[in-house]
Structure 1
Amino acid sequence: MIKEVIVVEGRDDITAVKAALECEVIATNGFGYGKSLIRTLKSLQERRGLIILTDPDFGGERIRKDLSKHIPNCKHAFLPQGKALKKGDVGVENATPDDIREAIQKARPNNVEKVDTFDWEDILMFNLAGGKGSSERRERLGEILGIGYCNGKQILKRLNHLGVTRDEFIRAMERIDEDGE
């Protein structure tokens, strides 16, 4: 049983996560949650910890950012969009149990203090922005590190705020380069 409570968006997400793991899951029911849910989640975070697993789309990222703003020290789990896609619908409920378990296993805490391990030079040097294939490289990096897909500016922020070490980053980039050849 996982100690932390997993936060998802909806009822179908709860079903999918519970099919993959023995855990407690709570849904936000979309973005329309109120102060009562925030208070509940804060209490759960203090007692057991939270892992936020939202859909890999605009709405899911919006919920993730809002919850993070109100509830410090949550862990974040990300599903690659391709592993949460079924008939054009993107959502946690579409992921396989193995993919959900992997996302939860790779969950990372959002660092409270800013750490500048990486800078824009790293992003450009490793062709993660502004170059041919950079979008695909960011997608693969997000999958390997379990930090999700995002644009160049956001990948820099996630690398620094989700506790990615330089060694992890270098190993992931080497893997991407090997896979690309």
Structure 2
Amino acid sequence: MIKEVIVVEGRDDITAVKRAVDAEIIAVGGFGINAKVIERIKEAQKRQGVIVLTDPDFAGEKIRKIISKRIPGIKHAYISKSEGLKDGDIGVENASSESIKNALNAAKCEVKEKREEFSTKDMIFFGLSGDCKAKYKRDKLGKLLRIGYCNSRQFVTRLNNYGIKKEEFIKALQCIDKENEYGKE
């Protein structure tokens, strides 16, 4: 598994990168990079490192510059225009798995063992899945841990891929529980 979190432009790019490598991926959704996405990228950089892999076009370069300006120390992976071209459309989603792997290797990505400290059982045990308040708790916890909101399966993946420790996880849950106790009074 690739240690760094890979930042791409959109969902089709996620699909292409996941076909090529095992990694945590953040899609920025084009030019409209919002504050929540920037915060997730900052947290990813702090915990695991970040590699930006955007389309080899004007928009891709603009997005790359926006991210670089706000988050220092990130790595950059590049595919060539010819590698990303298909039927007149240019983008990471059109690149072969081999081209994506080569770009990530050239960016000096690191490989780590796949981490499985958290499981679906943990989600159920801590009320983050299968509970009427699960969605609310995942949302609050995602904000506290700075990994964003997602469904319980993706939440397990993010906890593991971002290197969240059990102690940090439990401390954040206790903050949520304490906040809820004060809200009842």
User: Please, what TM-score do these two structures have when normalized by structure 2?
Assistant: 0.58
Name the CA distance, whole Å, in 2 between partners of 1:44 and 1:94. 26
1:1-181 superposed matches below 5 A? 1-107=1-107
Name the CA distance, whole Å, in 1 between partners of 2:56 and 2:8. 11
Q: Which runs of 5+ in 2 are unaligned?
A: 110-185
Contact 1:76-1:108 within 8 A present in 2 as well: no
Name the CA distance, whole Å, in 1 between partners of 2:43 and 2:25. 14
Amino acid in structure 1 at the alignment position of 2:32: G
Amino acid in structure 1 at the alignment position of 2:8: V
Identity %: 56
Residues 103-140 of structure 1 show CA distances to partners (whole Å, capped at 9, x for unaligned) of 0000169xxxxxxxxxxxxxxxxxxxxxxxxxxxxxxx
Contact 1:54-1:92 within 8 A present in 2 as well: yes
Name the CA distance, whole Å, in 1 between partners of 2:63 and 2:108. 17
User: What is the root-mean-square deviation of aligned Cα atoms in Å?
Assistant: 1.2
Which structure has more RCO (C-alpha within 8 Å, separation ≥ 6)?
2
Name the CA distance, whole Å, in 2 between partners of 1:84 and 1:63. 17
Amino acid in structure 1 at the alignment position of 2:3: K
Amino acid in structure 2 at the alignment position of 1:92: V
Name the CA distance, whole Å, in 2 between partners of 1:36 and 1:19. 26
Displacement after TM superposition at 1:3 (Å): 0.3
Amino acid in structure 2 at the alignment position of 1:94: N
Name the CA distance, whole Å, in 2 between partners of 1:76 and 1:108. 9
Name the CA distance, whole Å, in 2 between partners of 1:45 and 1:75. 10
Name the CA distance, whole Å, in 2 between partners of 1:22 and 1:58. 28
Displacement after TM superposition at 1:98 (Å): 0.3
Q: Secondary structure at the match of 1:83?
A: coil
Name the CA distance, whole Å, in 1 between partners of 2:66 and 2:27. 14
Name the CA distance, whole Å, in 2 between partners of 1:60 and 1:30. 8
Name the CA distance, whole Å, in 1 between partners of 2:39 and 2:8. 16
